[in-house]
């Protein structure tokens, strides 16, 4: 597929997806959403790719959210089953996805980042759900993810005021994992991705799926049902499940195969 609104690069088992509409601060429209749906479908289905990073083109913006000028001009709206950027409604991907936020992350852009498993932000990054200022609401997951990730009162403080939050405050609030110098968001995200790839991808997928499914039920139910989760069963039946303890006993680095 020819990519018009994004770029994809692979570094070993790491897929880097760059939102590429810098002329509009990487704001997204319908065609971009459908393109990114396919990009992340391909990542999820590729057994050789273990971790994804999503970032924005240029040095000013990660993603400014919904392309309001496109919408105001009568451009069609909508996205595929994966949601905004093919990510915000993607609940079946057990592989880690990291947001490398290199600038403005507004509205849908912030919702993309919140849908990722980790957020690495440059010190010039800015986050907000400003939809109420233009008569809209953050319905691509922001109104649900932010309270779950930082607590109700803190989230209400951001959502009801539509205020902008710096990377430093985002770290203090708890939705940013690390703040790095300007221009180093992608490098920071790659460092985290490389740390992840030192672990068994089967274990990582089992861990992510267990967390996601477990948060939707009671603690008792989660512990009782976790061994029946598909990714946990796949881990227990994998070559990596044998290789890990064997490598430990032989005092050598494990050779993960991801199956």
Mind listing the pLDDT tens digit for each residue in 6-39? 999 999 999 999 999 999 999 999 999 999 999 9
- Give residue 1's pLDDT: 73
Q: How confident is the model at residue 198 (pLDDT cuts 50, 70, 90)?
A: very high
67-74 average pLDDT score: 74
pLDDT, tens digit, 9 for 90 and up, residues 107-162: 999 999 999 999 999 999 999 999 999 899 999 999 999 999 999 999 999 999 99
Share of the chain above pLDDT 70, in %: 98
Predicted structure pTM score: 0.95
Phi-psi region of 215 (alpha: psi -120 to 50; beta: other; left: phi over 0): alpha
Q: Is the pLDDT of residue 89 over 80?
A: yes
- Give residue 68's pLDDT: 76
Share of the chain above pLDDT 90, in %: 93
The answer to whether residue 111 is catalytic is yes
Q: Is the pLDDT of residue 189 over 80?
A: yes
- Give residue 74's pLDDT: 65
- Reduced to 3 states (helix: H, G, I; strand: E, B; else coil), residue 246 is helix
- Give residue 69's pLDDT: 79
Backbone angles phi and psi of 9, in degrees to 5: -130, 140
What is the C-alpha to C-alpha distance for residues 126 and 106, in angstroms, rounded to an integer?
A: 8
Q: Is the pLDDT of residue 71 over 80?
A: no
Q: How high is the mean pLDDT of the chain? A: 95
Place of tokens 């393109």: 35
**Which has the minimum average pLDDT: 67-76, 92-101, 142-151?**
67-76
Q: Is the pLDDT of residue 163 over 90?
A: yes
What is the C-alpha to C-alpha distance for residues 55 and 103, in angstroms, rounded to an integer?
A: 9
Q: Which tokens hold the place of 252?
A: 């050598």
Long-range contacts of 188-192 (CB under 8 A, 24+ apart): 188/100, 188/120, 188/122, 189/53, 189/55, 189/98, 189/99, 189/100, 189/118, 189/120, 190/11, 190/14, 190/16, 190/53, 192/98, 192/118, 192/120
- Give residue 201's pLDDT: 97
Contact 67, 108 (CB under 8 A): no
Largest separation between any pair of C-alpha atoms in the chain: 65
Q: Judging by DSSP bridges, how do beta strands 104-106 and 61-63 pair with one another?
A: parallel
Phi-psi region of 148 (alpha: psi -120 to 50; beta: other; left: phi over 0): alpha
- Give residue 75's pLDDT: 61
Catalytic residue among 2, 131, 194, 250: 131
Q: How confident is the model at residue 77 (pLDDT cuts 50, 70, 90)?
A: confident
What is the C-alpha to C-alpha distance for residues 207 and 183, in angstroms, rounded to an integer?
A: 31
- Reduced to 3 states (helix: H, G, I; strand: E, B; else coil), residue 37 is helix
Q: What is the DSSP string of 131-185?
A: GGGGT---TTTHHHHHHHHH-HHHHHHHHTTT--EEHHHHHHHTS-SEEE-TT-H
Q: How confident is the model at residue 80 (pLDDT cuts 50, 70, 90)?
A: confident
Catalytic residue among 111, 194, 220, 243: 111
What is the C-alpha to C-alpha distance for residues 20 and 59, in angstroms, rounded to an integer?
A: 12
What is the C-alpha to C-alpha distance for residues 153 and 202, in angstroms, rounded to an integer?
A: 36
């Amino acid at each position: 597929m020819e990519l018009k609104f994004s770029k994809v690069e692979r570094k070993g088992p790491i897929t880097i997806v760059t939102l590429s509409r810098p002329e509009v601060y990487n704001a997204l429209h319908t065609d971009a959403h459908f393109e990114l749906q396919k990009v992340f479908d391909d990542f999820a289905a590729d057994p050789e790719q273990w971790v994804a990073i999503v970032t924005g083109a240029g040095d000013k913006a990660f993603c400014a959210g919904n392309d309001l000028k496109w919408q105001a001009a009568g451009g069609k709206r909508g996205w595929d089953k994966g949601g905004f950027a093919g990510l915000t409604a993607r609940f079946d991907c057990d592989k880690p996805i990291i947001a490398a936020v290199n600038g403005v992350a507004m509205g849908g852009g912030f919702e993309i980042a919140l849908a990722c498993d980790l957020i690495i932000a440059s010190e010039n990054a800015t986050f907000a759900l400003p939809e109420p200022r233009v008569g809209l609401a953050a319905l691509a997951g922001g109104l649900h993810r932010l309270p779950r990730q930082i607590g109700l009162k803190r989230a209400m403080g951001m959502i009801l005021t539509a205020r902008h939050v710096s990377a430093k405050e985002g770290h203090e609030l708890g939705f940013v994992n690390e703040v790095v110098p300007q221009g180093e968001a992608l490098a920071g995200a790659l460092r985290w991705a490389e740390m992840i790839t030192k672990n068994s991808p089967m274990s990582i997928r089992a861990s992510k799926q267990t967390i996601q499914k477990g948060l939707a039920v009671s603690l008792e139910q989660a512990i009782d049902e976790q061994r029946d989760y598909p990714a946990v069963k796949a881990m227990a039946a994998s070559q990596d499940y044998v290789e890990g303890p064997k490598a430990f006993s032989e005092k050598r680095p494990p050779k993960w195969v991801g199956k």
